[in-house]
Amino acid sequence: EDQVTQSPEALRLQEGESSSLNCSYTVSGLRGLFWYRQDPGKGPEFLFTLYSAGEEKEKERLKATLTKKESFLHITAPKPEDSATYLCAVQEYGQNFVFGPGTRLSVLP
């Protein structure tokens, strides 16, 4: 059975304090791994897609990386506006998406 876990469950950072969020997955054949950002009271918003081990994607202060068993979302010098819940999801070939429970990130000024 496909499984996606995320750690930590919650993370509090000071503004400018870099850190990483983890997404671990077990699938038979990965078609893609997706990162989303979700603000309170809103739907998830797409950030990145990663397809193969070794791939990296960057957007502003965020960088996503992928290995065969996990993905990391690195946040460099975060700002308070980066506070949100970050969700990862995996899609196996011919299957639907499986989401992890998310990491709640708070960045304090």
Partner 1 sequence: NAGVTQTPKFQVLKTGQSMTLQCAQDMNHEYMSWYRQDPGMGLRLIHYSVGAGITDQGEVPNGYNVSRSTTEDFPLRLLSAAPSQTSVYFCASSYGGIQYFGAGTRLSVL
- Which listed range, 52-60, 63-71, 76-84, 87-95, lies at the site for partner 1 (CB under 8 A)? 87-95
Q: Are 2 and 23 in contact (CB under 8 A)?
A: no
- Does 78 participate in binding partner 1 (rule CB under 8 A)? no
- Does 35 participate in binding partner 1 (rule CB under 8 A)? no
Sole binder of partner 1 in the list 25, 34, 35, 86 (CB under 8 A): 34
The CB-of-18 to partner 1 minimum distance in angstroms stands at 26
The CB-of-109 to partner 1 minimum distance in angstroms stands at 27
> What is the C-alpha separation between 61 and 96, in angstroms, rounded?
29
The CB-of-48 to partner 1 minimum distance in angstroms stands at 10
The 3-class SS string of the chain reads CCEEEEECCEEEEECCCCEEEEEEEECCCEEEEEEEEECCCCCCEEEEEECCCCCEEEECCEEEEECCCEEEEEECCCCHHHCEEEEEEEEECCCCEEECCCEEEEEEC
- Does 93 participate in binding partner 1 (rule CB under 8 A)? no
Residues that bind partner 1 (CB under 8 A): 4, 31-32, 34, 36, 41-46, 49, 87, 89, 91, 96-102
